[in-house]
Amino acid sequence: MKGIKFVVALTITIALTWALNRGWDFGDPIPPLGKFLDPFHGFWANAEPPVTYDYALRIPGLKDKVSVVYDSLLIPHLFANNDDDLYRVMGYVTAQHRLWQMEFQTHAAAGRISEIIGNKALDFDRNQRRLGMVYGAQNSTLAHSKDSVINRMNQQYTEGVNAYIQSLKYQDYPLEYKLLDYEPELWNDLKMGLLLKNMSKTLNFGENDFEMTNALNLFGKATLDILFPDWEAVGDPIVDNPGGWKFPPIQLDSVPLALPDQLVNITPTQKAVKGVGSNNWAVSGIKTATGSPILSNDPHLSLSMPSIWFAAHMQSPHVNVMGVTFTGAPVIILGFNDSISWGATNAQRDLVDWYKIEFKDATRNEYLSDGNWLPTKKVVEQFIVKGKDPFYDTVVYTHHGPIVYDASFHGDSEKNAYAFRWIAHDESLELKTFYLLNRAKSHRDYMAALDYFSGPAQNFAFASTAGDIAIRIQGKYPVRRKGEGKFVLDGTKTSNEWQAYIPPAHNIMIKNPARGFVSSANQYPVDPTYPYYVHSNNYEAYRNRRINRQLSAMDEITPVDMMKFQNDNYNIQAEESLPYLLKLLDSAALTAEGRKVFELLKSWDFVNSASSVAATYYEVWYNTLYRNIWDEMTNSTASLSLPSDYTTIHLMKTDTLLSFYDVQSTPEKEDLKTLVRQAYAASMDRINTWKIENEKEPQWAWFKNTSVGHLLRIPPFGYHVENGGNGSAINATTGSHGPSWRLVASMEKTGVKAWGVYPGGQSGNQGSRFYNNLLTPWAEGRYFRLKFPHTEKETAPYRYYTTTFNSIQQ
Amino acid sequence: MRFIIQVVITAIVCFMFQKLFPWWTMAIGAFLVGFVFSNTGFKSFLAGFLAIGLLWLGMALFIDNVTQSILTEKIGQLFPLNLFVLTSLVGGLVGGFASMTGSLLKP
């Protein structure tokens, strides 16, 4: 009897322990409860006490001692005696604070999220592989390995990251690993390539060629040119240098532009998001209070926890640089050193083409090119899917690039095949640009560094303690004939392929312009005398004008002025559209509430401040109107993009007879006036519903409700912030995107002074008070002085704790 | 008295096991102590349950206190049950069954 009892009890104990030692998935995943709740090793072990002590570590491969001093923001200041040690410890330190994010981002780039979260990520993963993200990263890795300096740096960094990973036991794992029950894998050079491709995808990927092709076929060329002009007649270009382009441009044989005559039937995997953009500017000493240049930069990206950026100060006898980096890159991406500072904004240039492919037959083994049948290359991609069998997908490659969409993936047939040509597929050495910028001492060094940068194309602003300011729009751009690259291209003719690249010396750039400042905000880049065809899908029309308008008028500029300016919420779009919209309303016919709002809008100062109620009414009204005007696009079965806000407002003012004003779903024939009034009434309803649901006044910050969510969308790990802003204001904070890093650097000869802030915190650990400590200051427009000591001793006044790294003695 | 001693010893032994080894080794600890004390099955279960439940609860409360609840509130939102109750329950159940199994081994 006792024997049976024993067996039963033993079975229960073993079964219970087993069940609590593994994760389960009943719709929602459940972590392994025993492992996870164990206060000795589980999630409890990730909670950090507020007090920290100095400690020493031994890591393999170090040549000499390295000190890492943390300041009160948990920014590490690395003091190394040689470059190898510097990069090795940088790898270790970054992994200490952001390991899960480093790996997750590269897993995402490589299409490996299904391994972690299962089947629901499979479509995303397949898309990543089909876009050739891994193919591009492999080419980056190849380029890295050919450059001895970059190769050595990457090796040191990788070994540093891996020294950290190998030191970990389960209790040390970042929380996300414990929640999802998986383990970190070793870092490698491919992951650095993937990291860069991820950025290229964020900033430079698009399916606009499909959308433009569809618009061309549905609306005709004449309408298309009105809705999507190559250049909107507005604003200053980034470089306005008429007649200053004194080089003989590369000419291509002229080929008549063949317009595609078929719709592209592809369900887009993702629509371009509004809000990805950026600002930077540098003002010359003649406009500043100190007489030294000031550089400002704020790149706008999707807001997430942990933040995309990690701040660090890296010093060795050969380099002394501070700024922010992507978690997983050994170099500072945006920042300053003792002599120069630099900042980047997206150049928007079209570096993506889609070629229509003609296959010989359904096997897709051969395709046509200039009358010859060329063999395709088929790559079988394996996807490990959590809780399921592996999934296999065959991707067909042509010499243009991979076929992304076909009958098995978001396309309607094998016949409708488009090959994807992307600059990010090519070998390139962006890391070398940053390696050299980190060490640059002059404008000449900055120019030499940028020569290595091929994409995603960026507007690099520059300021130096020597008093120079400059901007250069850097990327590797194919030379294009007018109109080329806007639509899908015929892949059977090699004359449509990228024939030549614009030489770096022909790129758009200027140094020390007479107006005393350089600036960029994703607008059209250059004056009409520039001899190459420049094309993009979305050049910015508002922020750039606000920046240039104010900078032209400013004098005796101080860093504080620049900080205030980065947080400027003035909305030129509202200034240019609201008075006109109000005129179209018949105020006499309004309800009592409608008249109240009318008065509120009439007296609004066009500032999207956090507390503005008028801003909310304007935004909802305009956006409703915008959607109703372009209902032809959103209701179409073909994938289409919508005209820009600038073009929309321009058309409203100049063309009251546009056929698009008619709402297709109603029998009546609407005109602009009717639409404006309907949208006004609808916006009032929408805001009233919001008021009832939220029980407060529709102040802009509350209504906009900017979300800074965790990368895995785990609700308690994300936040909402209350701030002003708008995609068209300098403080370009929307509901999901915003300034991901703000830097103001005063390039004084007696020592560079810099201030910065970003939404998030240095630690990726939810159990650390440095996880979100910068978020509220960021939302409130506050900055922190970035401590830039030259010796370890100088850190004493703000030292939080020190980690000393020593080599393992043989 | 014997019961209380079993609880205390189980807690001490399992504390040491957990300091050094993965979480499930505390089941072995509770099993061994259960075997040595050889109480009745129910009493042994209760002793193991209390020992590990309290050990885990105490440790969780200690961490919660020194870290000013920085994680407790966030992780708490992910579970339908209070985190301290859940932690004690999960540890307690495994400890209880292991301790009972140990006591039932003696002929």
pLDDT tens digit sequence for A26-56: 878 899 999 999 999 999 999 999 888 999 9
CA dist list (Å): A234 to A230, A503, A523, A649, B25:
12, 28, 9, 12, 71
Q: Is the pLDDT of residue A265 over 80?
A: no
Candidates B21, B38, B46, B70: best to mutate against A (most CBs of A within 10 A) is B70
Query: Complex ipTM, two decimals?
Result: 0.97
Cross-chain CB nearest to A767 (options B71, B87, B107)? B71
Select the more confidently predicted residue: A510 or A665: A510
Residue A627 resides in a domain = yes
Cβ-Cβ contacts under 8 Å, A34 against chain B: 23-24, 90-91, 94
Greatest Cα-to-Cα distance within chain A, rounded to the nearest angstrom: 102
- 3-class secondary structure, A297: strand
Task: Report d(CA A369, CA A350) in Å as an integer.
Answer: 24
DSSP state of A183: -
Q: Which of the four pLDDT bands, split at 50, 70 and 90, describes residue A261?
A: confident
Asked if B23 lies within 8 A of A35 by C-beta distance, the reply is: yes
Task: Report d(CA A207, CA B39) in Å as an integer.
Answer: 72
Cβ pair A491, A403 in contact under 8 A: no
**Degrees, nearest 5: CA angle A444-A445-A446:** 90
Closest CA to A463 of A636, A336, A312, A307: A336
Task: Report d(CA A493, CA A490) in Å as an integer.
Answer: 6
Asked if B24 lies within 8 A of A21 by C-beta distance, the reply is: yes
Cβ-Cβ contacts under 8 Å, A714 against chain B: 78
Crossing angle of the two packed helices A672-694 and A592-602, in degrees rounded to 10: 100
Task: Report d(CA A126, CA A387) in Å as an integer.
Answer: 17
DSSP state of A269: S
Residue A636 resides in a domain = yes
Instruction: Give the per-residue pLDDT at A276.
Output: 67
Cross-chain CB nearest to B18 (options A12, A40, A716)? A40
Cβ pair A535, A480 in contact under 8 A: yes
Task: Report d(CA A47, CA A32) in Å as an integer.
Answer: 18
**Chain A nearest-CA residue for B69:** A47
Residue A633 resides in a domain = yes
Distance from CA of B12 to the nearest CA of A (A): 14
Cβ-Cβ contacts under 8 Å, B78 against chain A: 179, 714, 716
Q: Is the pLDDT of residue A559 over 90?
A: yes
Burial label, A526 (beta-carbon count in 10 A; 0-12, 13-18, 19+): buried
Instruction: Over range A559-587, report the average pLDDT.
Output: 95
Q: Which residue has the tokens 């100060």?
A: A313
Instruction: Give the per-residue pLDDT at A664.
Output: 82
pTM of the shown model: 0.95
Instruction: Give the per-residue pLDDT at B43.
Output: 93
- 3-class secondary structure, A420: strand
Query: Which pair of structure tokens corresponds to residue A636?
Result: 């179409």
β-partners of residue A746 are: A294, A753
Cross-chain CB nearest to B66 (options A12, A34, A49)? A49
Cβ-Cβ contacts under 8 Å, B24 against chain A: 17, 20-21, 34
Residue A194 resides in a domain = no
Task: Report d(CA A542, CA A40) in Å as an integer.
Answer: 55
Instruction: Give the per-residue pLDDT at A161.
Output: 98
Chain B residues with CB within 8 Å of chain A CB: 18-19, 22-24, 27, 31, 41, 56, 59-60, 63-64, 66-68, 70-75, 77-78, 83, 86-87, 90-91, 93-94, 97-98, 100-101, 104-105, 107
Distance from CA of B38 to the nearest CA of A (A): 12
Task: Report d(CA A23, CA A600) in Å as an integer.
Answer: 55
Q: Which of the four pLDDT bands, split at 50, 70 and 90, describes residue A551?
A: very high
Select the more confidently predicted residue: B2 or A265: B2
Q: Which of the four pLDDT bands, split at 50, 70 and 90, describes residue A233?
A: confident
Query: Which pair of structure tokens corresponds to residue B79?
Result: 């579970």
Start-to-end Cα distance in chain B? 23
Q: Which of the four pLDDT bands, split at 50, 70 and 90, describes residue A1?
A: low
| Letter string b/e over residues B65-87, b meaning 16 or more CB atoms within 10 A of that residue's CB | eebeebbbebbeebbeeebbebb
**Chain B nearest-CA residue for A48:** B67
Contacts (Cβ under 8 Å, ≥6 apart) of B1: none
Distance from CA of A18 to the nearest CA of B (A): 9
Q: Tell me what the pLDDT averaged over chain A comes to.
A: 93
Asked if B23 lies within 8 A of A12 by C-beta distance, the reply is: no
Q: Which of A264-273, A310-319, A463-472 has the lowest mean pLDDT?
A: A264-273
Candidates B15, B52, B71: best to mutate against A (most CBs of A within 10 A) is B71
Instruction: Give the per-residue pLDDT at B15.
Output: 95
Residue A471 resides in a domain = no
Task: Report d(CA B52, CA B26) in Å as an integer.
Answer: 8
Number of domains chain A is built from? 1
**Chain B nearest-CA residue for A37:** B87
Task: Report d(CA A526, CA A349) in Å as an integer.
Answer: 12
Task: Report d(CA A781, CA A123) in Å as an integer.
Answer: 39
Cβ-Cβ contacts under 8 Å, B41 against chain A: 5, 9
Which helix H or strand E contains A589, and what residues bound it?
none
Task: Report d(CA A462, CA A445) in Å as an integer.
Answer: 11
Task: Report d(CA A106, CA A624) in Å as an integer.
Answer: 38
- Using only C-alpha atoms, chain B has a radius of gyration, in whole angstroms, of 14
**Chain A nearest-CA residue for B104:** A6
Asked if B101 lies within 8 A of A43 by C-beta distance, the reply is: no
- Using only C-alpha atoms, chain A has a radius of gyration, in whole angstroms, of 28
Cβ-Cβ contacts under 8 Å, B19 against chain A: 40
Cross-chain CB nearest to B78 (options A20, A42, A716)? A716
- 3-class secondary structure, B78: coil
Q: Which residue has the tokens 């790898």?
A: A91
Instruction: Over range B34-60, report the average pLDDT.
Output: 94
Asked if A37 lies within 8 A of B90 by C-beta distance, the reply is: yes
Start-to-end Cα distance in chain A? 61
Closest CA to A419 of A436, A395, A446, A397: A397
Chain A residues with CB within 8 Å of chain B CB: 2, 5-6, 9-10, 12-13, 16-17, 20-21, 33-35, 37-50, 170, 175, 179, 714-717, 766-769
Asked if B70 lies within 8 A of A12 by C-beta distance, the reply is: no
Per-residue pLDDT tens digits for A77-133: 999 999 999 999 999 999 999 999 999 999 999 999 999 999 999 999 999 999 999
Cross-chain CB nearest to B68 (options A6, A20, A50)? A50
Q: Which of the four pLDDT bands, split at 50, 70 and 90, describes residue A270?
A: low
Residue A547 resides in a domain = no
**Chain A nearest-CA residue for B61:** A39
Instruction: Give the per-residue pLDDT at A203.
Output: 84
Asked if B91 lies within 8 A of A37 by C-beta distance, the reply is: yes
Task: Report d(CA B5, CA B26) in Å as an integer.
Answer: 17
Cβ pair A571, A591 in contact under 8 A: no
Which helix H or strand E contains B70, and what residues bound it?
none
Asked if A12 lies within 8 A of B97 by C-beta distance, the reply is: yes
Instruction: Give the per-residue pLDDT at A662.
Output: 85
Contacts (Cβ under 8 Å, ≥6 apart) of A466: A339, A442, A443
Assign residue A485 a region (left: φ > 0; alpha: ψ between -120 and 50; beta: otherwise): left
The phi, psi pair for A706, rounded to 5°, reads -55, 125
Q: Which residue has the tokens 């910050």?
A: A701
Cβ pair A521, A544 in contact under 8 A: yes
Beta-carbon neighbour count of residue A113 at 10 Å? 22
Cβ pair A95, A164 in contact under 8 A: yes
Distance from CA of B88 to the nearest CA of A (A): 9
Q: Which of the four pLDDT bands, split at 50, 70 and 90, describes residue A657?
A: confident
Which helix H or strand E contains A443, and what residues bound it?
helix A443-450
Where helices occur in chain B by DSSP H, the ranges are 2-20, 25-37, 41-66, 72-76, 83-105
DSSP state of A333: S
Distance from CA of A5 to the nearest CA of B (A): 7
Instruction: Give the per-residue pLDDT at A603.
Output: 97
Task: Report d(CA A273, CA A590) in Å as an integer.
Answer: 35
Task: Report d(CA A311, CA A73) in Å as an integer.
Answer: 10
Residue A245 resides in a domain = no
Q: Which residue has the tokens 């994300």?
A: A718
Per-residue pLDDT tens digits for A140-153: 999 999 999 999 99
Cβ pair A300, A278 in contact under 8 A: yes
Residue A436, CB half-sphere, CA atoms under 13 Å: how many?
A: 17
Q: Is the pLDDT of residue A266 over 80?
A: no
Task: Report d(CA A529, CA A355) in Å as an integer.
Answer: 30
Contacts (Cβ under 8 Å, ≥6 apart) of A322: A311, A312, A313, A314, A332, A335, A336, A337, A754, A786, A788
Asked if A40 lies within 8 A of B59 by C-beta distance, the reply is: yes
The residue range of the domain holding A602 is 572-606+613-698
Residue A281 resides in a domain = no
- 3-class secondary structure, A302: strand
Give the rounded distance of the alpha carbon of A108 from its chain centre.
14
Candidates A14, A33, A44, A714: best to mutate against B (most CBs of B within 10 A) is A44
| Letter string b/e over residues A654-668, b meaning 16 or more CB atoms within 10 A of that residue's CB | eeeebebbbbeeeee
Amino acid in position A55: Y
Asked if A49 lies within 8 A of B78 by C-beta distance, the reply is: no
Cross-chain CB nearest to B77 (options A5, A34, A715)? A715
